[in-house]
Structure 1
Amino acid sequence: MKITVLGAGVIGVTTAYYLAKSGHEVTVLERQSGPALETSYANAGEISPGYASPWAAPGIPQKAVKWLFMKHAPLIIRPTFDPATWSWVTSMLRNCTSARYATNKSRMVRLAEYSRDCLIELRGETGIHYDERSQGTLQLFRTQKQLDSITKDIEVLAKDGVPFQVLDPAGCVTAEPGLAPVKHKIVGGLRLPNDETGDCFKFTNELAKRAEASGVRFIYGTEVHKLRIDNNRISAVETSRGAFEGDIVVAAFGSFTPTLLQPLRLRVPIYPVKGYSITVPIVDESRAPVSTIMDETFKIAITRLGDRIRVGGMAEIARFNKDLPINRKATLVHSVEDLFGGAGDQSRAEFWCGLRPMTPDGTPIIGKTVYDNLYLNSGHGTLGWTMACGSGRVLTDLINKAKPQISTEGLDLSRYA
């Protein structure tokens, strides 16, 4: 079949790769000049299935109030009267119950674990390199209250068979020797030994080359204007370069998916939650992280990418605003310098922001819509890199009418009906 994929971020490119591998004729339309130049460009770099958790969790409403008054706050809400913003926030708050958290986390971990296995398989068959490491993730707790609160997460991990280790401060230092000078600031950690790290931008570009070699056509600098409908089918994708016709359309449009589908009367609850990162060259190897550390206090990920450190985090509710306030950078610098002081050269830090396409329950939207030939692969939030390969494989199986290797319960748009 002729399939048109909208978007060349990590989700769109992995989807195109698997579709082409299964024999389809694939065209990818992308408004930027190349792959992974938006949200996939400088994300936190972690592939963390075990850490896959919805932001909507018990206690988050209370924490959010406290965060608003922190100097280095993990959550920033810019005042707005935008109805879409408050509708999404209200829906997210409704998911902050223990029962919904357990359901949503289980769905996310199921997909993320499968995706990590798909990535390992893809790496073996293609020989692709992207500053990858397979040395786990360490969630770091600075207070006893944080450590005591992981009970529900551990229950889900154990239920889904995900390996984990609860560490004392000495164990944290064994896993990450660079933490030795600040051991006194740590009360413990949750280590997920099967997690990985890697540069999402490098991966997406390398995979795009392999997809192109297998016949995928990438058309960059192309604005998608609308989807033309005929008898409950998408008959064409209208763009700045004319109309593209095909048998199937896959929307991997990230935060822009709702705007694209609104004229089709499809309500897609995806919101552009802004995140920030800095990328810092390493100047002291002995102080640098080995893999990924999640600083629970500031909700910031510190990741080793080759000879660089990527520091990413924060959630800002600000619609499509992409400015770069210096105080956001200061939060990232504070976290990494407080734990790995002197490891990187902050004077050469690259400061960046991206719009994470987040659903109110944290789980992405993957599968067929009410339109006969329109499929979605979007809404991965902070976990697009973690879930990309698995999402591409699952959607390819669905399009091929084959049974996916994992349950797709709760993954498609119908869960919001």
Structure 2
Amino acid sequence: MRIAIVGAGVVGMTTAWRLAQDGHEVTVLERHEGPGEETSFANGGQLSYSYVAPLAGPGVLSKVPGWLLDRDSPMRFRPTADPAQWRWLMAFVQACNAATSEATTRKLLRLAFYSRDLMQAFVEGPEARGEGGGFDFARRGKLVVHRNEAAYASACRLLDYQASLGCEQQALDRDATVALEPALAGIRGDIAGAIYTPSEEVGDCHRFCLSLAHLLQGKGNVSMRFGTRVTGLMTSGVQVVGVRTTDDEVRADAVIVAGGIGSVPLLRPLGVRPMLWPLKGYSITVPIADGARAPHISVTDFANKIVYARIGNTLRVAGMADLVRGGPTIDRERAQTLVAQTRAVFGGVANGAGLDALQPWAGLRPATPDGLPLVGPSRLPGLWLNLGHGALGFTLAMGSAGLLADQLAGRAPAIGAEDFSAARA
């Protein structure tokens, strides 16, 4: 089949990789000059397969007032007059209950574990063997550190439930946590305990996209058109038959829209309205001056909702979820929160004023209200979606690409495709 993919972030690039393996004629269209230059560029770096619970949970609504009043809160909300924001928020509120959250978590875990299997096959496979280490991929495990005794006790109570879903985790007290990750010694007195998951991974998402692009360039059935702006989708009756760009038209048997939050205006003229809203996240990338002060294991500060991932010779620090309209502009106050927390937790990781001199980054993570991405055929013939992964794009990309490829080829999907039906858009 001739397939056009709109978007070359991590979701678009993994989709291109899987479809090229199936022998399809693939054209990737991306407005930036290279792959992974937007939301995939400097994300948290954690491939966190066992931690995919949706933002919409039973305890979230009670925390929102405090978050809104705290300038350093992990979540910010700025209301607008846009009806789409309020529709998204109402659906989000409806999903904030235990039954919905648990069902969503089970579905996302199946997709995450499938994605983990495919990522492992990629880094160990013959085609990618030379590129497998080209994005600082490492399996170092993850520590979710709790500063509050009640929160830690609650996490411990979930261990049996998590184990029933396939997660391999263990609870560590304060001393065991610092023994496993000595770089946390500076906050030893603040640690109530931690949950350790040894199977979690890290990697540089942008470099992963570049690795895929490099591999795809060697395939005769793939064309990657960077610096190409898509202006619309072509139709014949109700059938989507191609893509219109500022330069030309690209005919296709199937069009896959994987352009993140920018996909919403592209799809609107066809009456396809995915309920997506951008969750703006921030990161800083810290050159490691003192390796003893940087964690080897990925760390999530549960109270502050900040993640730390050692990627090569740098420490990626990321967090926040701002429900705001607008592009990926930098809120200096939010960036300074990351700097202050990094200094408090891993003081001395950077030389002198190195932290203050860093260039922060922000990305718009396209999220559905319930946390389930839209993967598969839409209601329009010829139009397929791979959207709405929120903060889990890197983690779920391989699995989503595999799920879509199976459906497009008419194969029985490896996991339940109905859980992520794109017809919901």
> Could you state the TM-score of these two structures normalised by the residue count of structure 1?
0.97
How many residues are paired up?
A: 416
- For residues 240 and 152 of structure 1, the distance between their equivalents in structure 2, rounded to whole angstroms, comes to 55
Alignment pair present for 1:267 and 2:273: yes
Q: 2:219 aligns with which of 214, 234, 245?
A: 214
- For residues 154 and 94 of structure 1, the distance between their equivalents in structure 2, rounded to whole angstroms, comes to 26
Alignment pair present for 1:285 and 2:291: yes
Aligned to 1:361: 370
**AA matched with 2:19:** L
Aligned to 1:373: 382
- For residues 383 and 297 of structure 2, the distance between their equivalents in structure 1, rounded to whole angstroms, comes to 39
CA 222–152 in structure 1, closer or farther in 2 if over 3 Å, else same: farther
Moved more, 331-340 or 24-33: 331-340
Q: 1:205 aligns with which of 207, 210, 213?
A: 210
CA 258–152 in structure 1, closer or farther in 2 if over 3 Å, else same: farther
- For residues 101 and 155 of structure 1, the distance between their equivalents in structure 2, rounded to whole angstroms, comes to 17
Aligned to 1:86: 86
**AA matched with 2:318:** G
Aligned to 1:137: 142
Aligned-partner SS, 1:350 = coil
Aligned to 1:392: 401
Listed as ranges, the gaps of 5+ residues in structure 2 are none
- For residues 368 and 167 of structure 1, the distance between their equivalents in structure 2, rounded to whole angstroms, comes to 44
Aligned-partner SS, 1:402 = coil
- For residues 290 and 74 of structure 1, the distance between their equivalents in structure 2, rounded to whole angstroms, comes to 24
Aligned 1:87-126 pairs, distance under 5 A: 87-125=87-125, 126=128
**AA matched with 2:193:** G
Aligned to 2:338: 332
CA deviation string 1:166-223 (max 9, x = no partner): 1111221133110122211100111111110010001110111101212311101111
CA deviation string 1:314-354 (max 9, x = no partner): 00111223221221011111222221111123144230000
Aligned to 1:315: 321
Moved more, 314-323 or 135-144: 314-323
- For residues 59 and 246 of structure 1, the distance between their equivalents in structure 2, rounded to whole angstroms, comes to 45
Aligned to 1:40: 40
2:4/2:242 contact within 8 Å kept: no
Q: 1:408 aligns with which of 413, 417, 424?
A: 417
**AA matched with 1:196:** E
Q: 1:152, CA displacement in angstroms?
A: 7.3
Aligned to 2:190: 185
Q: 1:261, CA displacement in angstroms?
A: 1.1
Aligned-partner SS, 2:53 = coil
Q: Percent of pairs identical after alignment?
A: 38
CA 153–363 in structure 1, closer or farther in 2 if over 3 Å, else same: farther
- For residues 153 and 340 of structure 2, the distance between their equivalents in structure 1, rounded to whole angstroms, comes to 25
CA 78–339 in structure 1, closer or farther in 2 if over 3 Å, else same: same
- For residues 347 and 71 of structure 2, the distance between their equivalents in structure 1, rounded to whole angstroms, comes to 19
Aligned-partner SS, 1:356 = strand
Aligned-partner SS, 1:331 = helix
Alignment pair present for 1:226 and 2:226: no
**AA matched with 2:183:** G
- For residues 157 and 10 of structure 2, the distance between their equivalents in structure 1, rounded to whole angstroms, comes to 30
> Could you state the TM-score of these two structures normalised by the residue count of structure 2?
0.95
Aligned to 1:194: 199
CA deviation string 1:138-175 (max 9, x = no partner): 11111012213336753552222111111111221133
